[in-house]
Amino acid sequence: MPPKGKAAPKPKGTENIKPSTSSSNSTSSPAAQQPTTSTSPSGNTPTAPSTIGERSQQRFHESRPFDAARQKLGLSGLSQAEQTGWVSSQLAARSSTSTGSSRRTTPRLGPKAQRELWRHVNDASLPIRTLKNKKSAPTPADVWGTDRAGQKIAGYSIARYEERAAKRTALTALQVTSRAFREARERAKRGLVVTRDHREQPIVLVESAKDVQEEKQRRRQMAALRRELYGEMTGEFRQDPEWDGVEPIPQVEPEAALATISYPEEYAEAISYLRAVMLQKEYSPRCLRLTDHIISMNAAHYTVWLYRAANVFALQLPIPDEIDWLNGVALANLKNYQIWHHRHLLVDNYYPTLASGPPSTLSRFADSEREFLSAILAHDTKNYHVWSYRSYLVSKLGLFDAAEIAAMAALIGDDVRNNSAWSHRFFVVFSDPRQSTPGTAATDADPAVPREVVDREAQYAMDKIYLAPQNQSAWNYLRGVLVKGGRGMRSVEGFVSEFVRGLGEGEEREDVLSTHALDLLAEICKEKGERERADLCLRRLGEKWDRIRVGYWEWRRRCLDDGQ
């Protein structure tokens, strides 16, 4: 018995099979009488297929000559001849393809019926094999799937498809060659080579640069083909024979992770290689190149910087070379922090070499550093990281010198309000170990500072105040200098008074050219015990000249009472 549930009606027993070519009724189509490969059973005029999908469909129908008509009209709607043809082709196909258990379900024909069947099959040139539909592909055309653009490959023209097939073949060929390269390299690593009779012999193979170059070229072609055929992206590193043997560790985020970033492919791949080499604690030129690559994409990645430093030191690279490289990176990433810590580490490492050489070595290095710092500060005169480094450099190399002070004078000359330059000048002048007491707070007096230095710096500040009296940088500097020199503020009373006129003499006559002068004047008055006048200065600041800070000026007034 035929298994139940099969949709297609099946012939029941042998009596149904009466192969005959003689009779035909009026409904039979001409096609049914002459089912040849050039004519489709459905009666449509065959045309050359334009796509491979159509071609598949045609071949499918050609292998099932009566199917289309039967599906349309039903078995009983077919002519006798067609019925015979359909049944015969079904049986022929079944007996030629069925195996094992399915054969048991095939109706068994007697010898005579068999002969009859095969004669009919021969006469009518019925195909003895039918194409089947795959479960996953409901129509024959679906079997081709889609390409990387999501287009159905079935829609490809024959020529286009053949081109694609050729590329697949080419890819396979490249893969085979590439695998041979890798295997040879593996063996070479183990000191073995394969002889003609497929035995491994211990020979050291030196791979030529040409081989590597060819392999590189090959992988580039493979990557291009994979991309074109399947839309697969092959990362740069995967393509590079240099990175064979390193298994990248891709970033795996927990499903719920917050603030995840859709990294560009190139970055994600590079980082996955970084993780791998860091885990292996590998220090090598290729690691150095890897860090360069990542830094060029994301200079804010502190881990890669520290790893780069470790590589530089492990490989004992010349520090000046690394600094040259770093200069380019710094100019491309003006706001970056890590660059300057890296430079700091480089100088720490280089210093013993510098210090042990002739003095000219150190001074040449100092000059080149200062030259670069000037260049970078020209782009951003108040860059905090650059100034932090400059302060470190001065301490490390002992650059408390005229050149450093001149460099600050130049910057202050360009913009008298550049507070970074003022701050650095203060450091260079008052932290010079030759004329300062180590460990003195910046806000405390230091008796080790020579009198003429205090005079000089105070005069410098006052000269600059004349240029722009409301510039707080210069006033803060002046005050800082006087404190360092242990001088009272009253030592500049005459100067300060120049910026405050007619104080307390009414709106018409009172004029203040600098709130900072008025602030300082309050302090001078307090020093002199002129409490009322000090209070007047502070009151006028809060009332008129610097109202946004009124709360502060009020507090300062309270300080007058508390003996502060």
Partner 1 sequence: MIPDLFTELPPVRDALVTETSKQQDKTADLCLSYLAGDSGEQLLEYNEHGVPRLRRDSHVRFLHKSLGPLPAGFMAADASRPWFLYWALSALVILGEDVSHYREAVAETARAMQNDSGGFGGGGRQLSHLATTYAIVLSIALVGDEDAYEVIDRKAMWRWLCSLKQTDGGFQLGLGGEEDIRGAYCAAVIITLLNIPLELTPESPAWKEDGSATLFTGLAGYVRRCQTFEGGISGQPDVEAHGAYAFCALGCLALLDHPRRIIPRYLNVPRLVSWMSSRQYAPEGGFSGRTNKLVDGCYSHWVGGCFPLIEACLSPVDEDKKGGTAAAAAASKLPPAPESLFSREGLIRYILCCCQDTSKRGGLRDKPGKLSDAYHSCYVLSGLSSAQHQWELAPSEETSPATGRADPVWRVMPYLEDNDENDVQIFDQKDRLRPIHPVYAIPIQSQEAIRDYFLVVDGLKKL
Instruction: Write out the binding residues for partner 1, residues 301-340 only, by CB under 8 A.
Output: 301-303, 306, 309-310
**Closer residue to partner 1 (CB): 154 or 271:** 271
User: Does the protein bind partner 1 through residue 540 (CB under 8 A)?
Assistant: no
Question: Which SS3 state, helix, strand or coil, does residue 192 take?
Answer: coil
| Residue among 341, 370, 526, 540 that touches partner 1 (CB under 8 A) | 341
Smallest distance from partner 1 to CB 461, Å:
12
**CA nearest neighbour of 87 among 72, 73, 70:** 70
User: Does the protein bind partner 1 through residue 398 (CB under 8 A)?
Assistant: no
User: Does the protein bind partner 1 through residue 259 (CB under 8 A)?
Assistant: yes
Residue 501 CB neighbour total at 10 angstroms: 12
User: Does the protein bind partner 1 through residue 237 (CB under 8 A)?
Assistant: no
| Residue among 473, 489, 522, 538 that touches partner 1 (CB under 8 A) | 473
Question: Which SS3 state, helix, strand or coil, does residue 137 take?
Answer: strand
Q: Which of residues 416-435 bind partner 1 (CB under 8 A)?
A: 416-420, 423-424, 426-427, 430-431
CA torsion through residues 382, 384, 388, 390, sign: negative
**Closer residue to partner 1 (CB): 71 or 251:** 251
CA separation, residue 414 to residues 420, 421, 465 (Å): 13, 11, 14
**Closer residue to partner 1 (CB): 203 or 410:** 410
Smallest distance from partner 1 to CB 74, Å:
56
Judged by phi (left if over 0) then psi (alpha if -120 to 50, else beta), residue 504 lies in left
Only one of the segments 106-114, 145-153, 187-195, 297-305 lies at the binding site for partner 1 (rule: CB under 8 A); that segment is: 297-305
**Closer residue to partner 1 (CB): 132 or 558:** 558
For residues 113 to 152, the per-residue mask of contacts with partner 1, x marking binding by CB under 8 A and - elsewhere, is ----------------------------------------
**Closer residue to partner 1 (CB): 144 or 427:** 427
User: Does the protein bind partner 1 through residue 39 (CB under 8 A)?
Assistant: no
Using alpha carbons only, what angle is made at residue 86 by residues 76 and 54, rounded to the nearest 5 degrees?
Answer: 110
Residue 500 phi/psi, 5° resolution?
Answer: -130, 120
**Closer residue to partner 1 (CB): 37 or 384:** 384
**Closer residue to partner 1 (CB): 66 or 475:** 475
Q: Give the bridge partners for 9, in sequence order.
A: none
| Angstrom distance (rounded) from CA 306 to CA 278 | 11
What is the chain's length? 564
**CA nearest neighbour of 454 among 476, 480, 432:** 480
Total chain residues near partner 1 (CB under 8 A): 92
Residue 536 phi/psi, 5° resolution?
Answer: -60, -45
| Angstrom distance (rounded) from CA 286 to CA 356 | 31
| Residue among 39, 177, 178, 391 that touches partner 1 (CB under 8 A) | 391
Q: Which of residues 488-527 bind partner 1 (CB under 8 A)?
A: 512-515, 519
- DSSP designation for 414: H
| Angstrom distance (rounded) from CA 290 to CA 273 | 8
Q: Which of residues 262-291 bind partner 1 (CB under 8 A)?
A: 262-264, 267, 271, 275, 278
Residue burial 359-374, b: 16+ Cβ < 10 Å; e: rest: eeebeebbeebbebbe
| Residue among 469, 495, 503, 539 that touches partner 1 (CB under 8 A) | 469
User: Does the protein bind partner 1 through residue 545 (CB under 8 A)?
Assistant: yes
| Residue among 172, 395, 437, 459 that touches partner 1 (CB under 8 A) | 395
